[in-house]
Amino acid sequence: MPVSCLSRMILQSVLLASLALAQPRCKCTFGKTCWPGEKAFNKLASQVSQPLVHPVPPESACYPANNPADNCTDVTAHSREGNWRAEFPGSMQTPYWETYTFPNGTISACYLDTTLGFSCQQGSVPVIGVDARSEKDVQTAVKFAAKNNLRLVVKNTGHDYLGRSTARGAFLIWTHHLKNITFRDTFRPVGAPQAKVYEAVMTLGSGVQWHEAYDAANSRGRLLVGGLSAGASVGAAGGWILGGGHSALSPHYGLGVDNVLEFSVVTADGRLVTANAYSHSDLFWALRGGGGGTFGVVTSVTYRTYPSVPVIGIFGAVPLTSEAIAKALVTEFIRLQPIWVNTGYGGYSNINSSALQFFFVAPNASQADVDATVQPFFDLAANLTSGGPPMQNGTVPFDSFFSWYRLLFSGGEQVGTNIFIGSRLLPLPLIQSSPEKVAETILSIEGGVLWHAVAGGAVSRVPPDSTGLNPAWRNAVTHVGAFQGWPEGASASVIAAHGNKLQGEVSKLEKLAPGSGAYFNEALPFEPRPQTTFFGSHYKRLKAIKKTYDPASLFLVANGVGSEDWDSSLNCRH
């Protein structure tokens, strides 16, 4: 090696080592002497468009001493509605993540049930933050956090099973009110050749939720690949897309990351950059699956859209009245899954020892073709359950995906309770070769599983290394989730016991397909090997890109890229 090259490498190593030594070992959190004073926060307030927010758990309205003017009746009536909870900077969709457990096992929390006898405390809810209404607001907040070495969290709606958008004593950037929606008939990504033009794209601010995005797309006669939950309250341009973004439409159109054309993102140095295939392409690669709250603050996402087309809804509700019937029907259902998803049918199922329930959507398909595909399963179910409880199976035509979505997801309650979720991706070879073994495992899991038919088909046709997403997605048929819940006010030991129980159930899925990976947005918060489980062979490259754009680790989330270099609180380096 030439001496000059060797000298350059040594100098670079020394500079990097010096940078590491210069960085504080721990983040600054509320209550420490390093925490900015009133003067600093007043100056920040003068530089942003809205007054600073002082988040509190929404349940605090039920404690007059904390919020004497608030209405507890409103909280009680709406606490399980995702869109209601999203309107509070201090609210998480899963209340557990508003709480904080000290090393000695005591819990700081603010419970909705005041009869438990606990006082209302701040828990893990950040104490102060910026209600961002513009990209400039985000830039100002990021620079403030970096200058003061603050523990920083980024939150949109609080849909988060790993607690990544909240932290005790932290400074918050709340992106929920970045609601701009722009439709463009033609679009050329920044830096792209003149001929690289896309038609009918939508740019969504990072605070836009899926119900708002779907309404806007439908008004234009367009279809958008997006997430589905009660009230469609999940953010359309935040953690959903950054973690991969699965959808019932994915087998037909691909995952969310397969439909993104461009991001606007504020990086750790406060710059607003455009990331696409031609500008900051490394960051564009990482943002498509590398996880939210990790590489910067996304302010908008530009998606391709598709013409609205008729769809066929596929519905099934089959009682499983004996072990033999359960095994036979679930085995056949699983055996058929590669056929269904590779034909472009996607959807969701709940499978347990007593029932199999599912609803799928088949875009731009004829009812005759759909019936020919699914009727054999309905016939088998009718034959095996003859004389038992009635089934509810069939196919129904809809004029659009929007109509199907409105029927199933326009309302309902899906949040506001304490829950852990664990998941695994199940690959095509396993499903094809061992459907009976998969069925036996699924039926053995306490409480059953959520079977998300959101892979295969178009998802499998995308080259595994084209995005930062875990490559396991490209060989998967389904994303399977198990869950454990517990009542409000449970002790730390009871919560830990539920976590251990769930970990045991997930290990059954892991044994089916060792190393298959999991979906980062719906997974165990205590995965033993999060780097490989969530990111697979892409982890090394993702971490290198993070060091490029965030060398001081301003952005840290639980189980995210680079988190292994920090303690469990993500406040201090190892």
Do 263 and 287 meet the contact criterion of CB atoms below 8 Å apart? yes
Residues pairing with 423 in the sheet: 481
Do 475 and 428 meet the contact criterion of CB atoms below 8 Å apart? yes
Amino acid (1-letter code) at residue 288: R
Which single residue is written with the structure tokens 């988040």? 55
Sequence-distant (6+) residues with CB within 8 A of 22 are none
pLDDT at residue 15, rounded to an integer:
47
Q: Could you tell me where the DSSP H helices lie in 48-192?
A: 72-78, 82-85, 135-147
Distance, CA of 275 to CA of 512 (rounded, Å)? 38
Q: What are phi and psi of 50, to 5 degrees?
A: -125, 155
Do 280 and 273 meet the contact criterion of CB atoms below 8 Å apart? yes
Q: For residue 58, how far is the Cα from the chain centroid?
A: 22
Distance, CA of 244 to CA of 452 (rounded, Å)? 14
Do 359 and 392 meet the contact criterion of CB atoms below 8 Å apart? no
Residue 108 is given by DSSP the state E
Question: In the chain, count of helices (H) and strands (E)?
Answer: 17, 19
Do 266 and 296 meet the contact criterion of CB atoms below 8 Å apart? yes
Do 185 and 445 meet the contact criterion of CB atoms below 8 Å apart? no
Q: Could you tell me where the DSSP H helices lie in 257-400?
A: 281-287, 323-342, 367-384
pLDDT at residue 20, rounded to an integer:
47
Cβ–Cβ contacts within 10 Å for residue 559, how many?
A: 21
Do 258 and 303 meet the contact criterion of CB atoms below 8 Å apart? no
pLDDT at residue 381, rounded to an integer:
94
Angle between helices 135-147 and 38-47 (to 10 degrees): 160
pLDDT at residue 556, rounded to an integer:
98
Q: Locate 125 and state its tokens.
A: 């809810």
Q: Locate 193 and state its tokens.
A: 């050749």
Distance, CA of 546 to CA of 351 (rounded, Å)? 39
Distance, CA of 129 to CA of 46 (rounded, Å)? 13
The full set of domains in the chain, from first to last, is 38-171 (no CATH), 181-307 (3.30.465.10), 311-399+416-526 (3.40.462.20)
Count Cα atoms within 13 angstroms, Cβ side, for 484.
20
Q: Locate 194 and state its tokens.
A: 């003149």
Distance, CA of 409 to CA of 398 (rounded, Å)? 15
Distance, CA of 88 to CA of 156 (rounded, Å)? 10
Do 361 and 311 meet the contact criterion of CB atoms below 8 Å apart? yes
pLDDT at residue 11, rounded to an integer:
52
Amino acid (1-letter code) at residue 217: A
pLDDT at residue 64, rounded to an integer:
82
Amino acid (1-letter code) at residue 333: F
Q: What is the pLDDT along the chain (574 residues), one digit of tens a residue?
A: 454 555 554 554 444 445 444 578 999 999 999 999 999 999 999 999 999 999 999 999 999 876 665 689 999 999 999 999 999 999 999 999 999 999 999 999 999 999 999 999 999 999 999 999 999 999 999 999 999 999 999 999 999 999 999 999 999 999 999 999 999 999 999 999 999 999 999 999 999 999 999 999 999 999 999 999 999 999 999 999 999 999 999 999 999 999 999 999 999 999 999 999 999 999 999 999 999 999 999 999 999 999 999 999 999 999 999 999 999 999 999 999 999 999 999 999 999 999 999 999 999 999 999 999 999 999 999 999 887 777 789 999 999 999 999 999 988 888 999 999 999 999 999 999 999 999 999 999 999 999 999 999 999 999 999 999 999 999 999 999 999 999 999 999 999 999 999 999 999 999 999 999 999 999 999 999 999 999 999 999 999 999 999 999 999 999 999 999 999 999 999 9
Q: Locate 525 and state its tokens.
A: 């918060």
Distance, CA of 456 to CA of 477 (rounded, Å)? 5
Question: What pTM, to 2 d.p., does this model score?
Answer: 0.94
Distance, CA of 127 to CA of 168 (rounded, Å)? 8
